[in-house]
Amino acid sequence: MAGIINDRETIEFVRQQGSAAKYVTSVCTGAFVLGVAGLLKGRRATTHWAYVIFLPLVGATHEKARVVKDGNVITGGGVTAGIDFGLTVVAEIAGETIARKVQLGIEYDPAPPFDSGHPDRAPALKSELLTARYTSSGQHIVRASSKPPRFDGDC
C-alpha cells in the first residue's frame, strides 16, 4: 500500500476518475488511495480495523461498520468485509432482490468457528496483531511496539 499512495500518476488517475464516477469505492486499506486522492475529505469511511486511526489523516471520519456508504462513496473494512461490500454495491446497482440472490448463490451465511472476528471481541489478540509488522517481501515479523501499524499490511 505504501508504494501506491506515493505514486502520483496513480493518485491523479484515481482523483480524475473519482471526480466524475457514479460510485467511488474501496475495500480495506484501499481507502487510503481514495483519501490521498482527496475523495474522502469530509466523508464517513471505513477500512481494516488496524488502520482506522489513520483515516483522519486523509480527511475522512471513521465510522465503525463493515461497509459505509456516504453519498456516492462506498468503503469496506478488511478482507471478508469485502463480501458485505460487494453485496451492498450489487444492491445499490441492481436492487436488494438481486443482491439477495447473489448472497444465496455464493452461500454467504457467515458462521465463524470463533468469536474473535471483531477487534472489540478479542482485545488481547488485537493488541498482539497491532505489534506485528510486514516487510515488503511479505515475511511476518513480530516485535513489541507502541507505534501504529504501517499501511503496507493486511489487505
- 134 burial (CB, 10 Å; 0-12 / 13-18 / 19+) is middle
Residues annotated as part of the active site: 28
What are the strands, taking DSSP E only, across the chain? 24-27, 44-45, 61-62, 67-70, 73-76, 132-134, 140-142
Q: Is 76 helix (H, G, I), strand (E, B) or coil?
A: strand
> And the C-alpha cell for 129?
496483531
Q: What is the rounded distance in angstroms from the CA atom of residue 75 to the CA atom of residue 96?
A: 18
Q: Bridge-partner residues for 74, per DSSP?
A: 25, 69
